[in-house]
Amino acid sequence: MGFQVERRKTGTESWNEVAFIDGKGTTTEKSRYSFRDRGLSAGKYEYRIKQVDFDGQFEYSRVVEVEVGVPTEFTLEQNYPNPFNPSTTITYSLPERADVTIKIFNSLGEFISVLVSETKDAGYYKVEFDASKLASGTYIYQMTSVGSNNNFVDTKKMIFIK
């Protein structure tokens, strides 16, 4: 049926489901699956896969440890999915502690909302944008970061389709 991806911070007890990837059914053909975990803070994480069969039986993979390092530069990624309905994810990274603001504007440049306005440590982050109360159209998101060594500003477009 599919694969449940589970993650926990190294040294903690509880596992959290972070994704479910649909399987390709019973087949003798080779199949490839992939998963990318975004928006994690620096640190060590453990992952395991729970293979779930159609009859409800399951089996766990071996545990794999991954170390997420500190980013080397400020980045603002393209939102995903794009186009979206009604919500989308925006990811960004900080190489140092910084005051971060992410604002949303409509295509006329009119302010819509603030998604993030706080001081963040160096690391990888993600934020969800819910546009369910807005009209379809093109929106702009802008990140401004002020760190002790660098300032950063970047802007990207996203498309909301109801």
Domain boundary among 68, 89, 120: 68
pLDDT tops 90 at residue 160 = yes
> Does residue 51 sit in the same domain as residue 98?
no
User: What is residue 28's predicted lDDT score, i.e. its pLDDT?
Assistant: 80
pTM listed for this prediction: 0.66
> Does residue 58 sit in the same domain as residue 10?
yes
> Does residue 9 sit in the same domain as residue 41?
yes
CATH number at residue 101: 2.60.40.2550
Residue 130 structural domain: 75-160
Q: ∠ at Cα 111 (110, 114), nearest 5°?
A: 160
User: What is residue 34's predicted lDDT score, i.e. its pLDDT?
Assistant: 87
> Does residue 43 sit in the same domain as residue 83?
no
User: What is residue 27's predicted lDDT score, i.e. its pLDDT?
Assistant: 75
Task: Count the domains in the chain.
Answer: 2
> Does residue 94 sit in the same domain as residue 128?
yes
User: For residue 62, what pLDDT band results from cuts at 50, 70 and 90?
Assistant: very high
> Does residue 62 sit in the same domain as residue 81?
no
